[in-house]
Structure 1
Amino acid sequence: MKQMIVHCTQHMTRMALLEDGKLVEYAAERDQQQGLVGSYYKGRVINVLPGMQAAFVDIGQKKNAFLYVDDVLHPHLDRQPTVKPSIEELLQPGQDIIVQVRKEPSGGKGARVTTHYTLPGRWMVYMPFAEYVGVSKKIGRESERNRLKGIGERLRRNEEGLIMRTVSEDEPPEAVEGDLTFLRAQWETITKRAAASTAPALLHSDLSIVQRFIRDAFNPHQDELMIDSHKAVIEAEFFLNDMAPDGYRPVVFYNRQESIFTAYRVQEQLNRSFGRKIILEGGATLIWDEAEALTVIDVNTAQYTGGGSLEETVTRTNLLAAEQIGRLIRLRDTGGIIIIDFIDMEQEEHRKMVTDRLESVITRDRTKTHILGWTRLGLLEMTRKKARHDSAGFTPVTCHCCGGTGKVGSWLGE
């Protein structure tokens, strides 16, 4: 069973998702600072750089947004030219263009934007110009995949594209069609605002953090939603009523004196899960080091001694670590290249057991993740897409003395 725990303070909303009591997702959003990902802007092309095959677009933020040539070409690969054109053939400085933010600005970089527009609904993702119907890979039954693809093909018009989401499995055509009608109206509103606006201008913002998680990860008939703000409860019920007009499990208003995050052991699990050193059941440890685009995770047996032989002990440790790493990658929203240094195993079948265990956990992650395999040095490589900022309210602050290295320089003789 899943539980959504929402903690509201004066300036921030924090959200935790529990599966059978274990914390699997966490996010926070400051008031008046809603994330940009998913938002639409009418922007103006400032620079076109053929050497980078990209353009910079003014969308009204501190830094100009970055638009790569692949994000200007047709969203359907079969409709793209055999030879990729120069960005200069597609865009000119001063040109107005509708863009959607696909990655938050970070560091000194502006937001990453695209013209491959998507509008996520409850049952589908609407793409106004994609010209194809896709079905979530997590729907395994071929008969159901064919049914959903057929529904999508009957419903879509002209250039429209649809992706049927995992939750659309076994849903009646009427529910899917209602979702499409709503998303079409949303796209029409965006285009009308663009026609009436002067660039740069915000055309459409994505949902709030609570609404987004309800839409993407919540079953209104089975899962529990607990919120410690009466105002937020009313807003959530209003959203649920639109999303599930046939009824939903009541939202619980938590009004006890003890913090909701303490009562449901959320804060305790956050404190254990976001450190550099993470102690696993039995005493094994993970050492978690993150750079801007690379995360390295080191697995150690430490005090773990279970198993009848060294190989058995190592394999058990690695299996336990794989399960926790899969959960923590999702919880910490780790992105980019991920290298896992499992303890060396002699038998190939044991390495496969570890890979299978990790894959079984990450299938529950809604963010696109790929396990690439083992390197010659025995390291496991994987990648995970990341679009949003680190979880607000739980971001480490770099030490001004050591610069985040954990070491302070000292010259010999001083």
Structure 2
Amino acid sequence: MNSIYIDRKGKLDRIALIEGGELVEFYNDDSQKSILGNIYRGRVVNVLKGMSAAFVDIGVQKNGYLYIKDALNKNQMYSDESFTIDEVLKSNQQILVQVTKEPLGEKGVKLTRHLTIPSRNMVLTPFSNKVHVSKKIGNPKELIDLGEQIIRDGIGILFRTSSKDATEDILKAEYEDLVMTYYNILKEENYLPTPKLLYKEPGSLYGIIRDYYREGSYKIVSNDKDILEEIKESSYFEHYNFNNALIYDPEFSVDYHMDIQMGIKEGLSRRVDLKSGGYIVIDETEALSVIDVNTGSFTGITNLQDTVLRTNIEASYEITKQIRLRDIGGIIIVDFIDMKETENIQKLLSIMANEFKKDKNKPYIVDITKLSLVEIVRKKTRPTLDKQNTILCPTCGGKGRIRNNEIR
């Protein structure tokens, strides 16, 4: 059985997701500090026509960045006309915005006016009047028909994968709850003060339970009785059936759980060894992340082509897990060992694409080059595992190298 572990210390929740006995996601979550998904009434500070963007004050340390495609209102989105940023926004204008990316390094938050409000089985999409269904649902027609019956006031929805197992009554009730939440936000649009937080997105814990918990497949373990009671009584989980899945373990600690500690150690290491004797090397930079695959001590059994294929396939499973565990986002380049057979290349890409389906941040394989470099993009929303759990070395400044005494 898979597990969601919660280690609460004061305001900090350390949350670990274990699947198949391995750590696949880990969060240090201070729900008071997290702003991802929050909705604010903000004030436009600067409109930069040359950058087709604007900066918006939402009351945090740095002004948020709003690109023109995210700044269009609903009418402008569906218009055949083209708009410049100064036609869309004016300085000192008050607008509703949602945080889509937390501050990363020197960059401020990224914003959008296209609000979305998620729940277990659907996502409310007020800026769309259409019904969308997760691509993971094989036959979407029944849900599309139901969605067209229940949507109102031009407020669309996206059915999540879990909706295929939900009853019609639950889906209708969930939609109405989301619509009421949206209208309550709109009521605050034109009031003072500005900036102001209007909607607080539940923290990582609620998001993990919402996205992954399935009755009979997961247990939720914590060393804090109050948090288990909070989960059980929360209206956010009113349609969930936890039964005996909520387990209180006063002795549990992230610091002493072997699977979690081994996973964290691996997730913070530059080199990850494969069972065959091969290994992968992962380097994260500001611009992109690079992953290199090596055969190491694995010499194979039959021939070089077979050795290369076996190493690459084993590495592909580990790479997809590490990308998810480390929460690496943006551009990712994977340097596999060169393969000549098209059939083997397609097999490798198919395995990666299938493994990426487990990742809620939806990694996408863009292409593979003639040099066997696989180009991947993944949604970047928060600091990586490394950024959350380490600090910059004051001696080498993050280079991992110090100056040779002989050349000083």
Give me the TM-score of the superposition, normalised by structure 2: 0.94
- Contact 1:221 1:249 (8 Å CA) reproduced: no
What is the number of residues matched between the two proteins? 408
Unaligned runs of 5+ in 1: none
Deviation of residue 274 (structure 1)?
2.1
Report the equivalent of 1:121.
119
| Mean CA deviation greater in 330-339 or 217-226 | 217-226
Shift of 1:75: 5.9
**CA offsets per residue over residues 183-239 of structure 1, 9 Å max, x none?**
111112212233433211111111022111111111144311111111111112123
Q: Which residue of 2 aligns with 1:20?
A: 20
Equivalent pair of 2:295/2:311 in contact (CA under 8 Å): yes
Q: Secondary structure of the residue that 1:283 maps to in structure 2?
A: coil
Query: CA separation in 2, counterparts of 1:91 and 1:206?
Result: 26
Match for 2:174 among 173, 179, 189? 179
**Residue aligned with 1:5, SS:** strand
Q: Which residue of 2 aligns with 1:39?
A: 38
1:106: how far off? 1.7
Q: Does 1:90 align with 2:82?
A: no
CA 1:125–1:75: 2 relative to 1, 3 Å: farther
Which amino acid in structure 2 is aligned with residue 127 of structure 1?
Answer: T
Aligned residue in 2 for 1:112 = 110
Matched residues in 2 for 1:245 and 1:295: separation?
Answer: 38
The whole-number CA distance in structure 1 between the counterparts of 2:230 and 2:31 is 15
Aligned to 1:397: 391
Q: Which moved more, 1:117-126 or 1:360-369?
A: 360-369
1:317 is matched with: 311
**Alignment match, 1:206:** 201
Give the AA of the match of 1:132.
K
Task: Choose the corresponding residue for 1:304, options 295, 298, 317.
Answer: 298
Shift of 1:392: 8.2
Counterpart of 1:46 in structure 2: which amino acid? V
- Aligned sequence identity (%): 34
Number of the residue aligned with 1:54: 53
User: Is the partner of 1:190 in helix, strand or coil?
Assistant: helix
Q: Supply the distance in 1 between the matched residues of 2:56 and 2:277 (Cα, whole angstroms).
A: 51
The residue type equivalent to 2:229 in the other structure is I
Paired position in structure 1 for 2:269: 275
Paired residue type of 1:85: F
**Secondary structure in structure 1 of the residue aligned to 2:389:** coil
- In 2, Cα distance between equivalents of 1:272 and 1:67: 36
Q: Does the CA contact (< 8 Å) of 1:314 and 1:343 recur in 2? A: yes
Between the aligned partners of 1:250 and 1:81, the Cα distance in structure 2 is 49
Q: Is the 8 A contact 1:284 1:317 kept in 2?
A: yes
Shift of 1:74: 4.7
8 Å contact from structure 2 (residues 338, 371) kept in 1: no
Q: What is the root-mean-square deviation of aligned Cα atoms in Å? A: 2.1
Contiguous gaps of at least 5 residues in structure 2: none
Give the deviation of 1:267 after TM superposition: 1.1
Q: How far apart are 1:322 and its partner, in Å?
A: 0.2
Task: Identify the residue that residue 322 of structure 2 maps to in structure 1.
Answer: 328
Write the deviation string for residues 253-295 of structure 1: whole angstroms up to 9, x where unpaired.
0112x63553452112211222111111122111100012300
Q: Deviations over 1:351-400 (max 9, x none)?
A: 11211111111111111211012113221111001112224884332222
